[in-house]
Amino acid sequence: MAASEISNPAPLPPSSAKHGDPLEQLARLFAGHPGGPPLVRYGGRVAEVAPSHVLVRGIERRVELGTSVEVEGGGARWLGEVIGIEADCANVKLFSSSPRLGLGAPVWVRDSLEICPDVSWLGRVINALGQPIDNQGPLTSGSLPYSLDHEPIPPMALDRIRRPIITGVKAIDLFTPICAGQRIGIFAGSGVGKSTLVSMLARTNGFNTIVIALVAERGREVREFLEDVVKPHAPRAVTVVASSSEGAMMRKNAAKTAMAVAEYFRDRGDNVLLVVDSITRFAHALREVALAAGEPPVARGYAPSVFAELPRLLERAGPGKPGSGSITGVFSVLLDGEDSNEPVADTVRGILDGHIVLDRAIADQGRYPAINPLTSISRLAPLAWSKEEAELVRRLRTIVARYEETRDLRAVGAYKAEADFELDQAVLLTPILYRFLTQLPDDPACPGVFSELAAVLSEMRNGGGQAREAAGTQVATRAPA
C-alpha cells in the first residue's frame, strides 16, 4: 500500500475522532506483520527556507517538540528535528549545516532518535547519531534502545556514592579528590591546558569503560586526541565526535549520545568515566537552536531553554541504582572572556559536585596542570580523605594562601625572614609543593599522592628542613582506598 501524504490535515470529524483515522485503523490491523515499511506516513512540504531553520506545513498536528523528520531534497534525505510548532506550520532545525533544499520539498515524520548501544562498540568512534565514522565497518545494534533524552534516575532510587578514585593527577588527588559517580567540572579559559588535563584523566585505571564526547572540537585536534589519548585505551573506550564544522543539532546531540552510551554501560554494571569536552560548546549549540526557534535571548544571548536543558543532561550522570554501575562525569567548561561568573559557568557550577579551576597566571609560570588549589573544590572530598589527610590539606591550603597573598610584598623586597613564623613556613614549603604538583601528560601517574608527599617532606626534614612544623600535622603515609 502506498504511503499517504497529508499536506494540510484538517481537524477530524467527530465520528473519525471517535473511531480513529481509517488508515490508522488499517495500520493497527497489520501492526503484528514483521518487517516491511510502515503502512502510514504523515508528511508535509517545506514552506520557507532560512539559514537557521525551515518551516514545514502539513505536519503541525502530527508532531511535538523533539519529533524527528526527514526532508527530501537535492537528491538526498536530510534529518531534522521539530523545534517549534505554530498553528499553521512546524519549525524544523536540520542536522546538516548546508542542506540543499527548495520550497515544496517533501517532509516526512519519523520515529524519535534512539540508539541501541552494544558492548562491541568499545574501541569505536561514532557521530552524534550513533553512526560509525572510523572506517571500521558497521556497528552491531544492541537489543535495548536508549533515547537521547532519557529521563534521569529518580533521586530516591539512586545508590549512595562511597568509593574514591585515584586519578593519578597529583593536584586533583590531593586537593580535589574524585569519587565514583561524582560529577566534576574543569573550568578554564582557552589555551590554559583544559583538554590536556582531560586527556590525563582519561588514562585513569579506576574505570571499566570510558566514554568521550568531543563537542565542537577543531578537526585537527580530533585526530590528534584519538591517536594520542584514546588509542592506548581503545579496548575500553567509545568516542563520540561532532566537530566544529558540523551543524548545531549534531553538536547538541553529541553530548546526549555519549550520555546514552554511558547509561548503557552503567546499566550493565560498569563503572563508567564520561568525559565531555566541552559542555560550553554544547550550550552554544543549544543557544543556536533556541534562537532559531524564536526564543528571546535573556542572558548574554542565551535563551531560557538553555538553562533548563543543562541540568537535564548533567543529572543523568552520577550513581546508578543499587546493584548497577555508575557514571563519573568530567565536564570541561570554557570560560568566555575568562569570566568565571558568566551564565553557563555559573549554572554548571551549581549543578556539579565540584569544580577544578585552571588559572592562566599559574600556566604562565610554567606549572602544569595549572590547577588553582585555593579556588578548586570537591564536594565529596570528605569521602576520600581520612581525618589526618583532611587536616593536612587544610593546612596546605592555608600555607599556599599565605604565600600567594604576600607575593607582591616579597617582590619589592619587604619580606624579612623570622619576622613572621607562618610566612616563613609558607616561603619554605610552597615552592616545594608547587614542584611536587607539577606533572606533564607524559609523566607517569601517581599511585598514592599522600605517600609521595610524605616522602618529599621527610626528605626535606632529613636535610635540615622544617616540614613537620610547617605542615602542622603528621602526614598520612597511605593513599586513599
Q: Which residues of 140-155 are buried (b: 16+ CB within 10 A; e: fewer)?
A: eeeeeebebbeebbee
Q: Which CATH architecture has domain 115-381?
A: 3-Layer(aba) Sandwich (3.40)
Query: Hey, where are the domains in the chain?
Result: 14-112, 115-381, 387-471
- Whether residue 287 is predicted with pLDDT greater than 70 in this model: the reply is yes
Strand-strand pairing, 68-73 and 54-57: unpaired
413-to-271, 409, 417, 432 alpha-carbon distances in Å: 53, 7, 11, 21
Percent of the chain with pLDDT over 90: 68
Max CA pair span of the chain: 96
- Judge whether 229 and 287 are in contact, CB under 8 Å: no
Which segment, 92-106, 112-126, 185-199, is predicted with the most confidence on average? 112-126
Strand partners, 273: 210, 328
| pLDDT over threshold 50, residue 143 | yes
Band of pLDDT at residue 20, cut at 50, 70 and 90: low
**pLDDT score at 98:** 74
| Whole-angstrom distance, CA of residue 207 vs CA of residue 327 | 9
pLDDT value at 296 more than 50: yes
d(CA 272, CA 237): 10
For residues 131 and 149, is the Cβ–Cβ distance under 8 A?
no
Mean pLDDT of 445-473: 73
Averaged confidence pLDDT in the chain: 88
Higher pLDDT among residues 198 and 57, named by residue? 57
The single-letter code of the amino acid at 280 is: T
Model confidence pLDDT, tens digit, residues 366-380? 999 999 999 999 999
Higher pLDDT, 85 or 3: 85
Going by their DSSP bridges, the two strands 68-73 and 106-109 should be labelled as antiparallel
Indicate if the pLDDT at residue 466 is higher than 60.
Answer: no
Kindly tell me if the per-residue pLDDT of 36 is higher than 70: no
Q: For residues 411-439, give the mean pLDDT.
A: 91
pLDDT at 327 over 90: yes
Region 387-403 average pLDDT: 95
pLDDT at 2: 39
pLDDT, mean of residues 437-461: 90
Instruction: Give the pLDDT of residue 338.
Output: 80
Rounded to an integer, what distance in angstroms lies between the CA atom of residue 162 and that of residue 250?
Answer: 35
pLDDT exceeds 50 at position 72:
yes
pLDDT at 38 over 90: no
- Alpha-carbon distance of 444 to 102, in angstroms, equals 57
Model confidence at 202: pLDDT above 90? no
Confidence of residue 459 (pLDDT cuts 50, 70, 90): confident
Given a cut of 90, whether residue 418 has pLDDT beyond it is no
| 460-466: average pLDDT | 63
pLDDT at 8 over 60: no
Confidence check: pLDDT of 465 > 60: no
pLDDT digits (tens, 9 = 90+) for 231-244: 888 889 999 999 99
Please give the pLDDT value at position 472.
43
246 by Cβ neighbours in 10 Å (0-12 / 13-18 / 19+) ranks as: buried
**How high is the pLDDT of residue 463?**
64
pLDDT over threshold 90, residue 133: yes
Within 10 Å of residue 421's Cβ, how many Cβ atoms? 11
What CATH code is assigned to 14-112?
A: 2.40.30.20
Same fold, 14-112 and 115-381: no
- Find residue 164's DSSP bridge partners: 179
The answer, yes or no, to whether residue 172 has pLDDT greater than 60, is yes
SS (H, E, C) the chain: CCCCCCCCCCCCCHHHHHHCCHHHHHHHHCCCCCCCCCCCCCEEEEEEECCCCEEEECCCCCCCCCCEEEEEECCEEEEEEEEEECCCCEEEEECCCCCCCCCCCEEEECCCCEECCCHHHCCCEECCCCCECCCCCCCCCCCCCEECCCCCCCHHHCCCCCCEECCCCHHHHHHCCEECCCEEEEEECCCCCHHHHHHHHHCCCCCCEEEEEEEEECHHHHHHHHHHHHHHHHHHEEEEEEECCCCHHHHHHHHHHHHHHHHHHHHCCCEEEEEEECHHHHHHHHHHHHHHCCCCCCECCECHHHHHHHHHHHCCCEECCCCCCEEEEEEEEECHHHCCCCHHHHHHHHHCCEEEEECHHHHHCCCCCCECCCCCEECCHHHHCCHHHHHHHHHHHHHHHHHHHCHHHHHCCCCCCCCCHHHHHHHHHHHHHHHHHCCCCCCCCCCCHHHHHHHHHHHHHHCCCCHHHHHCCCCCCCCCC
What is the arithmetic mean of pLDDT over 449-456?
93
What type of residue is 175?
A: F
* Mean pLDDT in residue range 127-132: 96
Residue 318 has pLDDT above 50, yes or no: yes
> Residue 12: pLDDT above 70?
no
The type of residue at 159 is D
Identify the weakest region by mean pLDDT among 86-95, 141-150, 433-442, 463-472. Answer: 463-472
Q: Terminus-to-terminus CA distance in the chain, angstroms? A: 64
Question: What sign has the CA pseudo-torsion 294, 296, 301, 302?
Answer: negative
| pLDDT greater than 70 at residue 9 | no
Q: Which of 367, 369, 382 is nearest to 431 (CA)?
A: 367
Q: Which residue has the cell 614542584?
A: 435
